[in-house]
Amino acid sequence: MYPKSSLQPIKEDYLFTSKIEETSEAFAVAKIAGIIACKAYNIESKANRFIALAPNTMFGPHDNFDLDNAHVLSALLRIFDEARRGKMRKIELWGSGNPRREFIFSEDVADASIFCVGECG
């Protein structure tokens, strides 16, 4: 949901500073809409009752490990697992190695969500 050209590491302040990455535009707009809606509800109700959780890329049980359409971490885990099973000594990954990504375990997001519901309720 952050601009493609954001400085690294990305800070919350970078939201809305330039164009969103086109390949994730619909997903990003949906997350941003939730954040703005919560902000508007809080202003209207004159309280901080609404919290928008916008976790970074999640991974966990029942993830998609299909190399044709998996997210980056799931695809990497599958590649590493196949290399380990095949006793490969070397694998090839594409890219410059410069991009930074953050990942969070899906069950940690669930726990945080339950905590936030309890704090807001």
Domain ranges of the chain: 1-54
pLDDT digits 0-9 by tens, 64-81 = 999 998 888 999 999 999
pLDDT at 121: 56
Beta strands per DSSP E along the chain: 57-59, 103-105
pLDDT mean over 50-69: 89
pLDDT mean over 100-117: 90
Cβ(21)–Cβ(10) below 8 Å? no
CA 80 → CA 61, 93, 120, distances in Å?
17, 10, 41
Copy the structure tokens of residue 90. 């070397």
Report the distance separating Cα 84 and Cα 90, nearest Å: 10
pLDDT mean over 38-65: 91
pLDDT mean over 10-31: 87
Share of the chain above pLDDT 70, in %: 98
Report the distance separating Cα 85 and Cα 48, nearest Å: 51
pLDDT at 87: 95
Band of pLDDT at residue 101, cut at 50, 70 and 90 = confident
Residue 105 has pLDDT above 60, yes or no: yes
pLDDT at 120: 59
